[in-house]
Every structure is written in structure tokens, then in C-alpha cells.
Amino acid sequence: MSKREHDLVPTHRILSRTEVNEVLSSLGITVGNLPEILASDPQAKKAEAKDGDVLEIDREDFGKSYKYYRHVVER
Amino acid sequence: MAKDHDYNVQAGEPVGVIAAQSLGEPGTQMVLRTFHMTGMAATAIATSGLPRIIELLDAKKMPSSPIMRIYLKESYSKNFAKADEVAKKISEIKMGSVMRRIVENFSKGKILVLLNSQAMQAVDLTARSVAARLSKEVGVTAKVGEHGNIVINTHTKNLKEVRGITVKITKAIVNGIEGAGRAMVVQDRNGEFYIESAGSNIEPVMQVEGVDPAKIYTNDLFATYRVFGIEAARNTLALELMKTLEDQDISVNDRHISLIADAMTADGTIQSIGRHGLVGKKESVFAKAAFEETVKHLINAAAFGQIDHMRGVTENILVGKQIPLGTGSVRLAIKNKESKKK
């Protein structure tokens, strides 16, 4: 059974290089400005994300759905 | 007609300050004391009101009253008897609560445990199951003796060791999962059964037959963080804040709650708000010095030759400059032909 299927866990997806650039330029920020997620995080591991990747998170927050981004860091 | 973007915040709006005020003002109206309600299920004992809010914002490693809501797989959730069976597997019972007396025989190295048959019946335990669990937990040979008492052979005649084992036995868990607390079956509005427990230890509970691991809920942020990751912890944090406020009939817009939860989880871990967490991570020397431990920060900064970029609010107020918020955040505005086309 996949842990990602928990009600509280949104889907995490690794963005490709081009997608990352699109997102960053549309927001007018650099990777360093994004919120972070540890590479050791259970969901980052599940998505097989590596240091430096950007994860797109499909959030469902108080009934509003939007995308959130987290920069994968190793610490 | 108001359009969607009319509700977006303007650039330079101090959303963090507004969030802090939006939560701070209702906080003054909240109950300062943890109070108990009578005649309700296990959850009613939960810390509520301001103490709980503080606990959440301080990112305490363990809530002072942990709780689990355990939802069951379909075949279990419709049937009380089956749900109760699961609850009995989870419900944590300590030896101390089902025994009457414990007698040590130091010369033989044996310990006699007199069980409280009423208490045993109330929680559906048999002497045999207790003995089996004791043997496993404490690592001794426990057998059911006459009159349904439990006889334990410690294999040692050392006084200290025997006494040590006695203490271990009184504290041993004879049923259920460690830390899970008292678990009870509760029926929701749709007539489905789920389990509420007054403790939290989700990892082993998820493995229990019949439990739906995709729905298990705990108010223990760090357990959620360990098992499901930072996003789930953020959601729990936001939900717990919202629920605590709503329980006191205080309505705070969910944007503020979301922002606080996002700020606390922005670096991939759960950070507290305050000196040890968010404020402590502030870059500016002046901002840190203005908050607490002024001299320590200034001396450190001087010794290491730190640079203050004067980008925050506090440090700019301190030196009498305009703060970089609202209209103050704009340095130079250029009419750009390209941006007009968009």
C-alpha cells in the first residue's frame, strides 16, 4: 500500500528542467526562493527526487486547489 | 462585479503581519486554561484553546494530549463487533491497571501477580493472554498458576534484580500498542464506526488488520512528519489550528492559517515560531538584536564581521529608514512597453 495515498498527502511530482524554468520565470523568482523539502522526506523519497530537483505539489487546502513548489535539498 | 484577481493581495502587502494579528487578536479572547468536559468520549480531554495554539506554534515534539482517529476498512467499519475487535487490539492496557497485588518471593526468585478479575473482565483479557504478553515484554517466564494468578520465574535470586523485574512488570503493557492509549469505538453521523484513542503511535497502528492506513489521523505533528512527510505535517498543522479556533467559535480566515503553516514548514522541517525557530533564522543582525539577547547578537556579529543587508522591517525601523513594505517596497517604477502589451 502506497503511503502517498493518505488523505493528508497530496501528490508530489518532479518537474523537468524546462518546467522548472517556466514556473520560476512566471513567478519571477530563483530556485533559492522556493520553500524546501528534505531529500530524506518520505514523499521526496517516494517520488525518487534528488538534491536540486523541484517538486510540484497538488495542494487541496481548505477546499481550494492550487500548485505548490518545493525545492529538494539535502541537509 | 468583483473579479477573482480583486481578491489577490497587492504587491508589498505585509501578509505575515496581518496573519499574526488575525490570529493574535482572537487569541486574547480564548480560554486560558485547559478545561475538561464531562460525559464525552476520550477526545474531549484534549488540550484546547490557547494552550493548544501555543503548543502548535511552538512545534512541541509531542502534544500534551495526543489523540488518534483510526478509520477502518469497509468490512470493519459497518460492523460494531468487528470494529470493537480492532479497538481491543489497539487499546493500550498496563499491567498495573488489571492487577490487585504483586508478591515477591525473593528466596525462590519468583513473583506472584494477583489479578483483578473485574478489571480483567471489563477489558476482555484472560490470564493466559496476559501471561503470554508479559513473557514477551519483560523477558521472563510467566505462567498461569492456581486461582488464575500469574506466577513468574525470574531465574535469579538477586534481590535487586527481582525487584527490578517487579517494577518492570507493573509498568508492562499487557494488551494493545504502546502509546496508543485507551481506544474506543465511536459511530459517526453516517453510522460508520471508527476508533478514537487517547494516545498516539501511528506507525504500529497502521499495521493492524482492519485499519485503513490511508485515513489514520493523529494530532502529533512530528509523527505525521516522520511517516508521511512535510506536506502532510503542514496539513495537520493547518487543520489543528483551524479546529482549535473553531472549537472556541472563533473564525479566522483560512488564508492566515495556511500562511502560518507554510511559514513553519518552509525549510522542509517543522519550525517553531520564536527565538529558536523562525525568528532565530532571521538574517539581519539588528532584527535579532532588537528581539532578544541584544548584546550577544551584536558581539557575535562584530566578532565575525557580519553584514546586514537592511532588507527587513525591524532593522530599517531601528535605523530610521523607510520599511520595505507596501509603497516602501518600490524603489523605482519604470513604464515598460513590454509589460503593457501583456
B130, B138 Cβ separation under 8 angstroms: no
Q: Considering only CB atoms, which chain B residues are within 8 Å of A41?
A: 229-230, 268
A9 contacts B232? CB cut-off 8 A:
yes
Inform me whether the pLDDT recorded for B6 exceeds 80.
no
Give me the CATH number covering residue A68: 3.90.940.20
Residue of chain A minimizing CA distance to B256: A62
The correct answer on CATH 1.10.150.390 for the domain covering B282-329 is yes
The per-residue pLDDT for B21 is 92
Phi, psi (degrees; rounded to nearest 5) at B48: -135, 180
The per-residue pLDDT for B38 is 52
Please tell me the pTM assigned to this model.
0.82
Share of chain B above pLDDT 90, in %: 16
Beta bridge partner(s), residue B69 = B196, B217
Phi, psi (degrees; rounded to nearest 5) at A12: -110, 135
What integer best gives the mean pLDDT of chain B?
A: 84
Most confident listed range (B138-152, B165-179, B222-236): B222-236
Structural domain boundaries of chain B?
Answer: 12-63+224-265, 68-90+179-218, 93-175, 282-329
A10 contacts B228? CB cut-off 8 A:
no
Give pLDDT tens digits for B14-30.
898 899 999 888 888 87
Residue of chain B minimizing CA distance to A75: B268
501578509: which residue's cell? B15
* Candidates B214, B258, B266; nearest CB to A5: B214
Please give the CATH number for the structural domain made up of B93-175. 3.30.1360.140
Beta bridge partner(s), residue B51 = none
* Candidates A7, A10, A62; nearest CB to B215: A7
Rounded CA-CA distance A34/A22 in Å is 14
Inform me whether the pLDDT recorded for A3 exceeds 50.
no
The per-residue pLDDT for A36 is 93
The per-residue pLDDT for A1 is 40
Fold of B12-63+224-265: PTS-regulatory domain, PRD (1.10.1790)
Distance from CA of B262 to the nearest CA of A (A): 8
Inform me whether the pLDDT recorded for B339 exceeds 70.
no
The per-residue pLDDT for B27 is 83
> What's the rounded mean pLDDT across residues B256-274?
91
Interaxial angle between packed helices B254-264 and B230-247, expressed in degrees from 0 to 180 and rounded to the nearest 10? 140
Give pLDDT tens digits for B303-328.
999 888 888 888 899 899 998 888 88
Of B169, B41, B159, the closest CA to residue B97 belongs to B169
Distance from CA of A21 to the nearest CA of B (A): 19
B224 interfaces chain A, CB cutoff of 8 Å: yes
Q: Domain total for chain A?
A: 1
- Burial class, A32, CB count within 10 angstroms (exposed 0-12 / middle 13-18 / buried 19+): exposed
Give pLDDT tens digits for B29-59.
876 655 555 545 444 456 778 888 888 999 8
A8 contacts B224? CB cut-off 8 A:
yes
Inform me whether the pLDDT recorded for A2 exceeds 50.
no
Phi, psi (degrees; rounded to nearest 5) at B244: -60, -40
Rounded CA-CA distance B110/B152 in Å is 6
Beta bridge partner(s), residue B184 = B196
Measured in whole angstroms, the distance separating CA B318 from the mean position of its chain's CA atoms is 38
> What's the rounded mean pLDDT across residues B289-296?
86
Most confident listed range (B51-55, B195-199, B263-267): B263-267
Give pLDDT tens digits for A22-45.
999 998 899 989 999 999 999 998
The per-residue pLDDT for B45 is 59
Of B123, B61, B55, the closest CA to residue B89 belongs to B123
The per-residue pLDDT for A34 is 93
B214 contacts A6? CB cut-off 8 A:
yes
The per-residue pLDDT for B158 is 82
Give the residue numbers spanning the domain of A14.
3-73
Class of domain B68-90+179-218: alpha beta
Which A-chain residues 14-33 have CB contacts (< 8 A) with chain B? none
Rounded CA-CA distance B159/B247 in Å is 53
The per-residue pLDDT for B222 is 93
The per-residue pLDDT for B42 is 47
Distance from CA of B130 to the nearest CA of A (A): 32
The per-residue pLDDT for B190 is 85
Inform me whether the pLDDT recorded for B223 exceeds 80.
yes
